[in-house]
Each structure stands twice: as structure tokens, then as C-alpha cells.
């Protein structure tokens, strides 16, 4: 997951999510916030769970 459109990580990554720039002064905080959202989606997805959730 990268916070700018371009750069080395985007070029060489197998699967890269580019977070669009809304405010140039907050690229890092916005990118880090989306890490949490994507991580939650991955660990919550039924097809990816090794142990089912209790809720």
C-alpha cells in the first residue's frame, strides 16, 4: 500500500494499492489509516480465516 501514484514500490510490487492524495500534507497519515481498513477486511474475510470469529 503506497501513498503516492508512482515510485519504486508501485513498479515492483505484485499487488499494490495506491491511496489517492487528498491533502499533500497528510499523505502518510491517510495511507496508514487505510492500512488498518484493508487489514481488517483481510482478516475478517470468511474465505481467509483459519479460525472463525466469535461474534
Question: Tens of pLDDT along 13-44?
Answer: 999 989 888 899 998 999 999 988 988 888 88
Residues in Cβ contact with 25 at an 8 Å cutoff, skipping those fewer than 6 apart: none
pLDDT tier at 55, thresholds 50, 70, 90: low
**C-alpha span between 38 and 51 (Å, rounded):** 19
User: What integer pLDDT is reported at residue 54 of this predicted model?
Assistant: 74
Cα(first)–Cα(last) distance of the chain, in Å? 29
Model pTM score? 0.64
**pLDDT above 70: residue 9:** yes
**C-alpha span between 17 and 1 (Å, rounded):** 5
Amino acid at each position: 500500500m503506497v501513498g503516492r501514484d508512482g515510485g519504486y514500490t508501485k513498479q515492483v510490487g505484485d499487488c499494490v494499492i495506491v491511496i489517492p492524495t487528498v491533502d499533500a500534507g497528510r499523505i502518510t497519515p491517510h495511507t496508514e489509516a487505510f492500512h488498518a481498513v484493508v487489514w481488517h477486511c483481510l482478516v475478517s474475510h470468511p474465505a481467509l480465516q483459519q479460525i472463525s470469529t466469535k461474534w
